[in-house]
Each structure stands twice: as C-alpha cells, then as structure tokens.
Structure 1
C-alpha cells in the first residue's frame, strides 16, 4: 500500500509526464527503488534520495517541502521550527487530494458523529451527567522525552506540558501535544472507551473540511507480524464503511488514500487486547511510523511492552484516576428511582469501607451498580454492605456482573427467569466463541462456533446438494411433466433428485475447499452493488480477477457436466418406462461422449457466468448502511440480486449454448450419444443448473450464505442460539449488553464478555 510519500512522488511524476524508467534515468535513483517508494513496499527514503528525486521532477518549493515532510514525519523545514514548543501545535500540512477523496472524508466524519452520538445515548453517558473521568500525568518512564514530544530542535529544552484534566477536556489536551501522539492508560473499566467516544465527538465538532477524521479502531484484532498498520487501518475502514472500498483516482481504494494521505486520525483502543506475544512487534511498528494517534491501554500491559521495547516515540502519556466517594455521592443518588436509597452505601464509603471503595472506583462498576440497583424496583443497594455474601471486592464485582443480565432483561417470575436463563446461555456461547478466537469483535459473518475445516466443507457440499435436489423435485419435475404430458415414475423422480444433488453439490464443495478453506480465507461481506457493466470500481488486477473466476467456474461446471452424464444413465436405469441399450460397450461409449459434451456445455456456461459476476459488481455507495443489522440486510439484498441475475443468464447459457453445441456435434458425428438436447429440454436442464448453481454459489462463496448455513440454521438446530439470531443481537444492543463499533458488535466491556464466557463453560 502506498505511503504518503509514495502518493506524493507518484502524483508529481505523473504531472510532469515521466515514467518510472525516465525518472530513474534523470535522477540517478534506481528504478526498483522508485517503484518500492511509490508502492510503499520499501523502507523510508533517505533525505538525499528525496532531494535527487525532487530536483529531477523540478518541483516547487512547497512541493519539495511536502515531499521531505512525508519522507520523515519528524522532519520540518527550518522556517517552521521554533525555539519554544508551540501551543497549540501548528496544523500539519496534508497533501492535496482529489475531490472524491475529500468528499468521502467529510461523509465519514458525518457518519461517525451520528453513530457515536447514538452510542452515548444508549450508554446514558449524559443521564443525568457524565461521570467525572479524570487523568493525571503518567510516570515518566512510560513517556518519551519532552523535547521529542514537543518537537523542539536540537539544543532547545522543552517545557513539560500540564495535561491533567477530565473527560470534557480530552480533545483540548490532545491538541496541546505538538507531536499529536497521546497514550491514555487505565485499569479495566476505568473509562478508556467512553473517553475515546468523547474525544472523537469533540474533535469532529471542531473539525474543518480537509482536517483528519478521528476514527476508533479496536487494535486488539491487529496482528502486526502479518499486516502493516496502514493496510490494517484501510481494511477496517472498508469493513465498517463499504463505500470506501471504491477506487479513488490512481487505482487505490478510497480507504487506502484516506489513510495514506493522513485524512484519518487513528484512535487505537485496546492495546492491551492484542494477542499475547504481539505487544512487542506492535509497539515496534508504531515506533517506525510517525503518524498522529491516540492509543489506549491497560496500565500493566503497556508498562510491560515499554519495558521490553521502548516508549512510544514522541508520545505523551496520561493515566486515568479512580472515582472518589464525593463523585459517587453526587452521581448515584440522582440516578435512583423513587424509593431507592443509596444513603447507607454513601455512608459506608465515607466511613472507609475498603471493599466498596475499590469496586466503585471505576465507571464500569458504577454503571453496573446503577443498572442493578437504581433501575430496579426490588433490589436494595444496602445489600452490597453484606460482608458475609460479599467478603471481597471480587465477590462484589462478580455479583454485579451476574445480576446485570436479569436486570436489563427484567427477570421476574418463573417464566421470565427461564427466558433470562436462555438469553444468558445464548450470549455466553457468543462470548465463549469470541474468547476462543481471541477477539472482541462480534462479526455476524464469523459467528459459527468452533467448526473444523472438514465439517465446513461437508456442510457446504450437503447444503448445495440438498438445494439442488429440492430444485429438481419442486421445479424441474413439474415443468418436465407439463412439457411432456406424462409424470415420471416415482422411482425416477426420487433417483433424479438424489443423484443430481451431488452432481452440483460435490463440485461446489471441492471449489470451496480449494478457494476458501485451503487458502485460510474468511468470506467477508460484499462491498459492491449490482450494476450493469459499471466501470467506476474496477481496480488494478481486474483482468486477473476475471480470468480466475472464469477458470474456477469452468472447472466447477465441467466437473458437474462429467458427473451429470452417468447420473442421467442411472436415473434411466431405475425408470420402468425406459430401456437402456443391451450392448454395454455401446452404452459406455455413449455415456463418455455425453459426459464430454456436458463438460463443455456446463464448463463454458459456468465460466462465462461466473466471470460476468465481476462485470456486474459496482462500488458500494458512500451511503451504504454501516450498522451490523443494516450491513447484513444489504448483503442479503446484493447476494440475492446477483445470484438471481446469474441464475437467469446461466439458464439461457446452458439451454441455448447446449443446443448449439449438441446440434453442431450431431452435424459432424451423427446421432451417436444419448444426450437429448432439444431447445425445450435444454432450457429445462439449464433452469435446474442455473437455480442449483445459484444456491451453491450463495452457500459456498458469500458471507450471507455462510451466515445462513453456519449460524441461522446449524446453531439453532444444535440449541446454541435462537432461530431469531438477529433479533437477539439487536435486542442485546438496545439493552446495553452489546455496543456497536462500526459494522460489528462488541460486548459492553471485556469483563462482561469474560464473565459470560466463563459461566457458559461452567455449564457445559
């Protein structure tokens, strides 16, 4: 993926009309070096190399300054350096971008602001007022030198900044940091996530057109050893905003250009959630980049990473502090229903109750206590003072976590209790599934439990086979009866469905094994719409994509065609109304010829139609829905539209193409062979092939098909989830059990996910 320097270099080269070879000859820089710099696959360029390239391109002074700044994020022209740390820090000059990119950035800002305001409402952050989340300067050994943070020149000492504040000041505190790199530390439940919400909303409120857009990324799912950070950021943007997968001028996606040109300000939430053993390479990668960012982490995990590697370069570090008894006395009584008395709890806190003071020192536990007691009519906060039931702070925390679900789901009475128990079991399964996969992102296209690769292939094969058999029995047989005026014998009908099913299902299963399972791929939601021959979204590699799809479709179709011929012979063999030739040799030769003809017919038709799918894929709109439920609905619509069109085209391709091929064969070789391919019969065969191939394509190669097969059917059948899975997730989101992060759900907090997963495993 191109870096900001690569984008600037490529644009400057194209403006003067030079090829990479011509620029290499004029500058004396190797063409391979230029190619690596433009694609971002090499190391950061040396200043001498940048100077040679700038001279060869005859750029303006401003363009030269932009190239130097992009080549080294810490480099500033001498005229911009000051002896004192600026306050506030000057805005970083971003490279110019095409209007489409600027428009996408502005749209992204509006979408994120709308989503996060909704999140604050559901979390009742302002009801009745925000908890006073405060922070102080972190220990010095966790932060870089103030000279580096303030970006002062050599020989000038920077004055340390006073960054202490509370939740409403976070954006201002960030702007006072000249390096635009800030780390927020805190223990579990201390308010880091809520702080990032407020930071993004405040930054967006003050954002001017062209400024970077702050975006929250759950960095826990990033593998720094496998994916460069900028590539991962662009992938996450496209996941949450499918419209950003469209191509920008120059060929890269809008998401990639936004990241590469600094139009995105990464808010990296959950450094501590990165998989064990990856904190060191993650910190090393962050130190190799100079992009502005805000990073959150638990204190202990960040301290261990810093001790093993080094501090985050040029980053200031602050630490969230605990809530005080005065904070609680001002907050909890105002959240209570009439008749709920927090007085005894407040008195115990003032008298120094160590257990309560430790538990109610974080916004997470205060929020749970509010839900369990202030929102309930039949629970008394004074129960928390029972040292027999709750002898330790951990016991109080487990009580609050355990009582949270019955409270938000209204668990009163025997029936309601059974309902809550089922919901707890379902959510526990989801939490356990996330724990096993080491993530907090509840992506609907990955829900499926721990299923072996062989089981997935078997299910896809079985689903495609069953769908084909149903098409044969419910569509093909009635139409054949209507056409011929005679219904086939029941044995023929049964055998036809049972044999034709695997003819289509097995090739799709094999193709799924080779193209998805063996390559370790996860089929993700589509990022396109169905449009007729829309060229706007075609990116580099489109021809290769077209060729790959044609070959895959042709192989799948040819395999089905080869299997179809002997299957048709077997169906005839069990039919009491059809007599096969007595000459076995003649029958075998006829079957082989039929298999060859069917392989050609089905192979060419399927290859052409699968390639046609690429021509029908146009980029998603910027306005494409980005919530989990809306993204699922959009993918269902796109999948059904695409497969509907392809099924019709495949029906005609098999019917008409087969008629022409068989007619040509008979004109050359005579009537030898058993294929009956008159135009009506060919269209009927094409219809079953088109509908069956469409069903196979859905279950094997689309995220919605996997959701339908592995989640909506398999998990309810095994009792792990309800039949209305989407309703369960949406309801949990509205009740505050889940939260939304872009196009995925997450549990309200990692502690809640951990608690539910542990309880689920205990019941198995």
Structure 2
C-alpha cells in the first residue's frame, strides 16, 4: 500500500472515529441526562482541538530549527563514525593508525598547499581552505582512503561550530545521478540517521551538509571510466549541486587509476585539492607491527620486518598498504583457544614469490582468523559456511556493477541493505510477499463473510418491514465490508508495488522525546475514544459486563492505534546506532504489537454490537471473530518490507542462512564487514572481489603447508 493510500485510510478512520465518538457521547448524554451545559461542552471540545493544533504547529516549528537539527545530526554522525573507525582499525591495537604520508596537489585557481603532510595536517589544511572546500582523496587499493575520510569527518566534527556544515559520509554506489542531489541527501539523512523528513529537507535547503562521497571507483566495473561513465555522472551531479551562488563543498575518495582516467576526460570537479595517499614505508610498517603485536615475543615477526627493509623483496610491495598490513597482522596473530599458542608463523610470508600469491594466501585465511578471534569458543557458523554465504552476497554485488536498472532502480555494488537484498532472488520474493499478504487477509475476509451470511439469514419481513436488528447489523457490516474489499486488493498491491516508499525512509522508532510524546498523545486520544465507545455500547445494550472491561479493551485499542500509526509511518527514520537490522526488526515488532492490541480492542467494541443485533451469537464469539478481523487488518496493511524480506529468505533456502541479519552482524563483529548507515559493506573491496572469485573456501592443502611452521610458541 502506498503512503498516499495509507494516509487516506488513516484520515478516513479518524473521521469515522470522530463520528462514532460524537454519537457515543450524544447517546450517553441523552440516556443519562444531567446538569451538563452543551454550550460549555462545545467550547471545551473546540478548546481541546485548538490546543492539539497548537501543539502540532509547535512541533513543526521545532523540526525546522536549523541549529538544533544540525546539532542532532552532528551527534549521530559522530557516534556512528567513531564506531566505524574502531571497527576498521580492529579490536586489538584499535587506537593505532598507520599515519602514511599525504601529498597535496591543488588543481585550480589560487589554491596552494604544502607538498606533503600527516593525517593531522590534512584535517587542518581542509579546515583552512576558503569556500568552497573541495577535496579528492586518491590512492591505490587498500591505501586507507576510507579511514582517512572517517578521520577527517571526526576531526571536523570535533571542532564544529553551530553554524558549520555537518560532514556526512555516503557511499558513492548508493548515489543515483538521475536523482537531484538535494533529494538524495535528504533521503540519506532520513534513512541513515533517523531525521524526520522535514528536518532533513531543512538542513539540505539551509546548505548545512558537507557530502563525503566514499568509493567513487566502485560505481563502474572498468578501471578506466570515461566521460560517459556513471562515476563521471555522479561527479557532474555533485558539480551541479550549488550552495547559493557557489559550488558546493565536498570530499570524494577514489582510486588513483580511476581518478586519473576521469581527469584525462575532464570529468572531474573544478577547484579541488587532490590528496594522494602514500604507501606504507618500511619504518612505519615496522612501528605498526611492533605496536599491535606481542612485545614479549618480538622475534616472531623478525623475518617479516627484515624482509620489509630488504631492497627488492616482494613483501615491501605486497604489504605496502595499511589494508594488507592489517590483513597480515590479523591472520598471524590468531591463537589456539585452548593452549594460547599462535596458530601460524609469520615467517611463511617470506616464502612467496609474488604479490598475488601473498594476496591469495592472506585473504584465504582472513575469515577463519577473524572468526576465531571474535568467537574463540567456536560459536556460530563455521568458517566454511561463512565463506560460502558471504561469497553468494559478494557475487550478487559484483553482478550489480554495470547492471541495467532493476525495475527502474540502480542496484548498489557495495551495500548490503537487508530489505533491499530481495533482487538477489529475482521476482520470487515479490510472489511470496503477495501470497503472504493473501494469507493474512483471508481470516479477516472470512469473518466478514460469516457475519454477512448470519445477518442475511436473520432478515425477516414483518408487515412489509425489515426488523430493526437485522437492518442495524447490515448497516454495521458496511464499514467492515469495505475494509474487507481493501484487504482482498492488498495482495495485488503487494505485487504491483515493486519498491516500497518506506524503504527510502525506514520506520520511526519511538526513541526520541518528541516521538514518544506524539505516541503518548495519539494513544491517549485513541484510548479515550475506545473507552467511551465501549462504555456506550455496554450501557446501550445493558449487558452484564462490568465497566472495567470496556476500559481495558479501550486502552488496548489506544495502544494499538498509537503503535500502528508510529510503526507504519514512513515519514520517520530508523536510527538505532550501528545496527542495520533495526528497520526490519522495527517493522515486525510494531506490526505484532499493533495486531495484539488493536485486534482485541477493536474486536470487543465491534463484537458487542453484533452480539446484541444477531440472535445466537454470543459476546465471546463475536468479540473473538472481530479480534481476528482486527489482527488480520493490521497484518495485511503492514509495511511491504517485512513481507518482501520473508519472501527473500524463503527464496534463498540453501544459499543463505535463515537468520541473515544475525549472521551479517556476527560478521561485522568479527571484522569481516563494516557498516555504512543502514547498509553492511565488506571490510574491503579486495575481500569482496576475492569472495566473488572464490565461491568455495580454500582447501586444507594451504593449511598443511602452514602447519609445518607452527611448532613454535
């Protein structure tokens, strides 16, 4: 169901609820008259409505406060980027950064820069540039471009003033050059950092966002992108994104070869400072290894350290980037969980003849080494299964690079977003999602059909007139009947709606103070209406039920209305720290809570009416049937994402784990994946490419060779 359709149904429900509430209040007033002034009651009602409208307007004004929104966004960006920095640097020695040399190359205007510098000097130099500040971080694969971008974001946030722009890192592969940059940034702020759409649009319109586009080299499958490449189109879209009369400030990371090709075709932004990331020198590699390895046993790494300082040795180039150096340390610092002895000897690295052999060797052992370090007791899937499952995902991402748009959307070549992974199985998840929608709507439709048959069977004509009870039952069936028709249409909508509007914005989680207040207000109003309607029904028909029964079910009705409204509102963002599982989890939880509260509450109120109007229908049976109808209604109109994700899991049996989110988060905890917003990404593109090329884990022959050197310590 689209957002517009849901909004229409919500407004219709509010209007019907107001009519029922007014009718219940008038009925109680006429049946139990008292010293109540109707004029005063009317003024009180109008005052309450005006107070609610004033509160809502105050909330809208607060959401458009640029400085407050900027502070909120900066705090959330800082929290997430700190977590990603720690994850990329690894658990042991996580504070140790290989501070390689950086070479500044201004490319236009009166820009000037020192010839080289360190990490701290890069941040200071960027902060000292005149507007627009434009950086391109270039380097070879594994040189630490993403780490530098994160460090730059953290240092800019550390000294940020209230009016400064907020640096926001975004994956280049998630940028659609055909979508305006302003729209793309607003969606990214909503989906990744949980900002309300009005708040995100306000920040973008006020030009308070500094885009940090990470991984421009990953948007094309060629090593020499030209003027017509997608990377060039992304750069042109950013070039057209203006801040007032000036070009926008931005930071871009890209591999050296790809950026040189774009420069040759004049497809790069103007007035930028290019920062080339240098290689790891032997002395810095030596210091890094000594800093992160066991100081009580320095001789273990002595052969490798000697090889790094030897002219012409293959390791000087093979371990010449921070990624490869970190990879080697991760593999050869693995210990046996029982004895504490090292599983491998670094001396093996000195026996390879070329860089590709070192690369294949380290990547083949990276997964078992990281899993052993994260879970020494061996809990979770084995290294072989982990390798096979990650290889399926890596192959899917590789296939997305250069792939034509899938149902009108360009698929990412790096991002693993849980609710957007279903194209891996083709259109089968859409079919399964439609079948799930059909299965959830049938119970509700069956209840309406049964009530309609019972009501029609009791229609009797006496003296040319229909009995009042039968007419009342048929009139009461009008609204559930219309809803039942809508439920039957839901499977067709589930199939027709290829991309849910909610997958761009996520779902609102009741974490912020304003959201909690809004949920409380919605719940209180709905609970009062439910209690009043239930009490009116009890008093009208004179049932033997005590008054606390309608109060309880009215409260359930209110909780369900508030939860369902918050959970199905696509206007909010899901921000739960560094946990991309929050969107699917929030969808499922909000649907279950709404179904288990709204269903019984709605069923009680509606069931009593039918029990009194239809002969032979007890209150318990009517309330139970109506509760089933309410739960079916909530489950059928739940957001598309959970149904599509369930269809994806069912369609990939045998290829991926059933609890895919839990598996991916375990891989994140083990250092195999990283998190960017609401997406998982492979720790490094080299690891992703390796898994795509090697769907099966390496055989034990390599380990047999290694075991010959493991007799030490």
Task: Please report the TM-score for the alignment, with normalisation by the length of structure 1.
Answer: 0.61
- Aligned with residue 97 of structure 2, among 99, 106, 130: 130
Distance 1:187 1:310 in 2: 20
Aligned match of 2:160: 207
Matches within 5 A, 1:335-414: 335-337=292-294, 338-339=296-297, 341-376=300-335, 377-387=342-352, 391-410=353-372
Deviation of the 1:169 alpha carbon:
2.2
Change (3 A) 1:724 1:279: closer
Matches within 5 A, 1:132-281: 132-138=99-105, 144-147=107-110, 150=111, 160-162=112-114, 164-178=116-130, 179-225=132-178, 227-245=179-197, 253-275=198-220, 277-281=229-233
Secondary structure, in 3 states, of the residue corresponding to 1:224? Answer: coil
Distance 2:500 2:357 in 1: 42
Whether contact under 8 Å (2:364, 2:697) holds in the other structure is: no
Aligned match of 2:27: none
Deviation of the 1:295 alpha carbon:
1.0
Deviation of the 1:629 alpha carbon:
3.6
Distance 1:639 1:416 in 2: 31
Change (3 A) 1:624 1:354: closer
Deviations 1:205-251 (A, max 9, x none): 111222211111112211212x0112111111111122333xxxxxx
Aligned match of 1:667: none
Distance 1:97 1:679 in 2: 47
- Aligned with residue 284 of structure 1, among 227, 236, 243: 236
Whether contact under 8 Å (1:104, 1:244) holds in the other structure is: no
Change (3 A) 1:167 1:741: same
Deviation of the 1:416 alpha carbon:
8.7
Q: 2:629 aligned with 1:689, yes or no?
A: yes
Distance 2:380 2:605 in 1: 57
Change (3 A) 1:747 1:332: same
Change (3 A) 1:521 1:163: farther
Whether contact under 8 Å (1:442, 1:744) holds in the other structure is: yes
Aligned match of 1:312: 269
Deviations 1:129-153 (A, max 9, x none): 3102221134xxxx53233xx4xxx
Matches within 5 A, 1:285-304: 285-289=237-241, 290-304=247-261
Aligned match of 1:728: 663
Task: Please report the TM-score for the alignment, with normalisation by the length of structure 2.
Answer: 0.65
Change (3 A) 1:533 1:167: closer
Whether contact under 8 Å (1:524, 1:702) holds in the other structure is: no
Distance 2:521 2:145 in 1: 38
- Aligned with residue 390 of structure 2, among 407, 423, 427: 427
Greater RCO between the two (CA within 8 Å, min separation 6)? 2
Distance 2:81 2:332 in 1: 27
Deviations 1:401-444 (A, max 9, x none): 11100111129999899821111112222222333334211212
Deviations 1:526-551 (A, max 9, x none): 4335889959999xxxxxxxxxxxxx
Aligned match of 1:550: none
Whether contact under 8 Å (1:432, 1:761) holds in the other structure is: no
Change (3 A) 1:658 1:691: same
Gaps of 5+ in 1: 1-95, 151-159, 246-252, 478-501, 539-608, 664-674
Whether contact under 8 Å (1:461, 1:505) holds in the other structure is: no
Distance 2:576 2:88 in 1: 25
Distance 1:613 1:509 in 2: 21
Deviation of the 1:314 alpha carbon:
1.5
Distance 2:680 2:118 in 1: 28
Q: 2:689 aligned with 1:751, yes or no?
A: no
Aligned match of 1:528: 508
Change (3 A) 1:686 1:264: same
Change (3 A) 1:525 1:268: closer
Deviation of the 1:759 alpha carbon:
1.7
Deviation of the 1:359 alpha carbon:
1.2
Whether contact under 8 Å (2:190, 2:573) holds in the other structure is: no
Whether contact under 8 Å (1:738, 1:745) holds in the other structure is: yes
Distance 1:473 1:231 in 2: 43
Change (3 A) 1:510 1:658: farther
Deviations 1:686-742 (A, max 9, x none): 3333323333333xx33234334423x554xx1223333333222211111111212
Secondary structure, in 3 states, of the residue corresponding to 1:722? Answer: coil
Q: 2:397 aligned with 1:462, yes or no?
A: no
Distance 1:507 1:533 in 2: 34
Of residues 323-332 and 526-535 in structure 1, the stretch that sits farther from structure 2 once superposed is 526-535
Deviation of the 1:186 alpha carbon:
0.7
Deviation of the 1:449 alpha carbon:
5.5
Aligned match of 2:70: 105
Secondary structure, in 3 states, of the residue corresponding to 2:160? Answer: coil
Whether contact under 8 Å (1:372, 1:400) holds in the other structure is: yes
- Aligned with residue 441 of structure 1, among 415, 425, 433: 415
Change (3 A) 1:397 1:621: closer
Q: 2:261 aligned with 1:321, yes or no?
A: no
Distance 1:260 1:705 in 2: 35
- Across the aligned residues of Structure 1 and Structure 2, the Cα RMSD in angstroms comes to 4.3
Deviations 1:499-534 (A, max 9, x none): xxx9998643212123x12x6867456433588995
Of residues 731-740 and 325-334 in structure 1, the stretch that sits farther from structure 2 once superposed is 325-334
- Aligned with residue 510 of structure 1, among 483, 492, 505: 492
Deviation of the 1:627 alpha carbon:
2.8
Whether contact under 8 Å (1:238, 1:244) holds in the other structure is: yes
Deviation of the 1:656 alpha carbon:
7.8
Whether contact under 8 Å (1:410, 1:416) holds in the other structure is: no
Distance 2:567 2:325 in 1: 54
Distance 1:172 1:428 in 2: 41
Of residues 172-181 and 346-355 in structure 1, the stretch that sits farther from structure 2 once superposed is 346-355
Distance 2:573 2:233 in 1: 36
Deviations 1:270-310 (A, max 9, x none): 11122452122222222223111111111121222222234
Change (3 A) 1:435 1:640: farther
The count of corresponding residues between Structure 1 and Structure 2 is 528
Change (3 A) 1:537 1:181: farther
- Aligned with residue 739 of structure 1, among 674, 691, 700: 674
- Aligned with residue 634 of structure 1, among 566, 586, 592: 586
Change (3 A) 1:354 1:537: farther
Distance 1:616 1:333 in 2: 53
